[in-house]
Structure 1
């Protein structure tokens, strides 16, 4: 995969789809690599005429190490990467998953002229009165931020996938093991996971600013999300004044099966504001 400079950092990215298509930027969750995105979802978007841009967030995957950043900085990265990779795109659509949704919202606030639409997947406004993550989700997140042996790191990742999976989309043990092993071999960066967690907990709150986002928005929430329950989706949709879709049986985890299901909502949503040349 290619890399590209943005600011003082280097970012690994992948771009698929027709060269003149509207751009959908995929923004990942904490500690995730660009490989987290289901191929089924990316292919559905590309086959529908979109350029699909995924990238490793700073401190994750094969992108540069960084220190002392916040979610606003990650939003700036997203816009800079999109401008560098697809310089002719006047505006972009963003699909943000988990922490990536929080980054996407900040991009919408900071760059309203560049963001055409936002789809927020299993994310949160961060409002203080919302339900808290389960203890298993918290302890699992902390566990993958600690440097351990390869077998232990893979076991911890598999366990977090198990905890995060909903009853309707349980990860097959062999599939989970294959994902954990492949991601470890591509890039093992627990210190980056820790800094992502710090960025989320130390960033300024924007929940009371979300009504200023004027682009088209869609909120998709899972019925069995151990991090952000259904009330987080209700809250986001209310603040953004947009539609909320609940995925029954889903948890806080992505899979190929779920990617196919999500594409049925995301392809028509992004197509609404498609630019006609």
Structure 2
């Protein structure tokens, strides 16, 4: 029960058909009569990347929170019939052979955005506040650009515009992101500590990274989907022109310790979207440490109020 005495369903874990043949696993928190907030995850991340306590805290502030697995991740639909050789794909892109790269990718970033909107439709929600983190920010931007009437507000977190000169990864961070993860459980969990490279310098925790890796591995270990997600993002190109024309109220959040997506990506996003608000958070990297949740949730409640 919330502080105002209203009862609400704390959590549900069903699956919905968001697009023809694409089923999306999702969970909800809070009262369905409250304003809907759709949380979109990043590259290779399952819905549990939005911590349950974070979702509950946001729901306690009067929001109906929805988190979900993107296609090719977690418990949502997998595209096993379309393997992507990441090395061959990146070589094609680097050499300018875009037609070959396109032929390797079974879906686009727009398809991923349509999944999120399709989930809202399946839930009977016409309009929602959309919050995307990292690749999820790119997906959220795409939702707002392609279907602005369905997005009440946009929050783009630790993301960028698709312009190569902004939001660049450091070589060290990029090497960790693209390095193959061990297939065995113990190795996978141990390798998660490498993600500290782009985390909060003050609050980064190897123990928390190992814990999330263990939960992710046990819930749905599925590395094959990452190559297809990566292809969709890389081939999406720049959204700069579309962001200049966007008229959806926008909040941009970025951590100043982020070296996976440099803060220039957030600054550029806020610069392009008319009237966008920019929140730069000290002691946050390409992560959301619990110590900064209060600042993030306060900003989201204000933005979605």
TM-score (norm 2): 0.83
Distance in 2 between residues matched to 1:186 and 1:153, nearest whole Å:
13
Indicate conservation of the 8 Å contact 1:72/1:103, yes or no. yes
Of 177, 188, 191, the residue aligned with 2:224 is 191
Structure 2: distance between partners of 1:179 and 1:135: 24
SS at match of 1:113: helix
- Secondary structure at the aligned position of 2:148 is classed as coil
- Residue 227 (structure 1) shift: 1.6
- Residue by residue over 1:105-161, the C-alpha shift from the partner in whole angstroms, topping out at 9 and shown as x without a partner, is 1101111111110011101001132252012221111124x562222222222312x
Partner of 1:104, secondary structure, is helix
Structure 1 residue corresponding to 2:131, chosen from 92, 95, 101: 95
Q: How does 1:64-83 map to 2 (within 5 A)?
A: 64-66=77-79, 67=82, 68-83=106-121
Q: C-alpha distance in 1, partners of 2:301/2:167?
A: 30
Query: Could you say what secondary structure the match of 2:74 adopts?
Result: coil
CA RMSD across the alignment: 1.5
Q: CA deviation at 1:48?
A: 1.7
Deviations 1:186-238 (A, max 9, x none): 01111112221121112232222102211110001110111222211211101
**C-alpha distance after superposition, 1:31-70 (max 9, x if no partner):** 0000001334312221122110100000011111024111
Higher Cα Rg, which structure: 2
1:253 corresponds in structure 2 to 287
- Counterpart of 2:235 (choices 184, 202, 207) is 202
| Counterpart residue number, 1:49 | 62
Alignment map for 1:19-58 (pairs within 5 Å)? 19-58=32-71
* Cα distance in 2 between the residues matched to 1:43 and 1:193: 28
Looking at structure 2, the residues matched to 139 and 236 of structure 1 have their Cα atoms a distance apart, in angstroms, of 25
The residue aligned with 1:5 is 17
- The question of whether the paired residues in 2 share the 8 Å contact of 1:12 and 1:55 is answered with yes
Tell me if the contact between 1:168 and 1:248 (Cα under 8 Å) persists in the aligned partners. no
1:1-277 correspondence runs (5 A)? 1-6=13-18, 7-66=20-79, 67=82, 68-85=106-123, 87=124, 89-144=125-180, 146=181, 148-160=183-195, 162-171=196-205, 173-241=206-274, 242-271=276-305
Instruction: Out of 31-40 and 257-266, give the one that drifted further.
Output: 257-266
SS of equivalent residue, structure 1 residue 246: strand
Q: How many residues align?
A: 266
Q: Which runs of 5+ in 1 are unaligned?
A: 272-277
**Secondary structure of the structure 2 residue equivalent to 1:228:** coil
Q: Helix, strand or coil for the counterpart of 2:233?
A: helix
Distance in 2 (CA, whole Å) between partners of 1:133 and 1:94 is 25
What are the superposed Cα offsets for residues 85-119 of structure 1, whole Å, 9 maximum, x if unpaired? 2x0x3311000000001001110111111111001
- Please list every run of 5 or more consecutive structure 2 residues that lacks an aligned counterpart in the other structure: 1-12, 83-105
Cα 1:131–1:176 shift into 2, 3 Å: closer
**Structure 1, 69-78 or 252-261: larger mean CA deviation:** 252-261
SS in structure 2 of the partner of residue 13 of structure 1: strand
